[in-house]
Amino acid sequence: MKLIVYSRKDCHLCCDMIATLIELQAQFPFSFRVIDIDSDLILAENYGELVPVLTAEKEEICHHRLDLVALDAYFAKLR
Judge whether 19 lies within some domain: yes
Judge whether 35 lies within some domain: yes
What is the extent of the structural domain holding 7?
A: 2-70
Check residue 1 and give its pLDDT: 81
CATH of the domain at 30: 3.40.30.10
CA of residue 44 relative to chain centroid, distance: 15
Judge whether 77 lies within some domain: no
Judge whether 63 lies within some domain: yes
Check residue 58 and give its pLDDT: 83
Judge whether 25 lies within some domain: yes
Judge whether 75 lies within some domain: no
**pTM as predicted:** 0.94
3-class DSSP state of 10: coil
Judge whether 76 lies within some domain: no
pLDDT means per 10 residues in the chain (79 residues)? 95 98 93 97 95 95 97 89
Across the beta sheet with 2-7, the strand order is 31-36, 2-7, 53-56, 59-63
Q: Given CA atoms 39, 45, 49, 51 in this order, what sign does their dihedral have?
A: negative
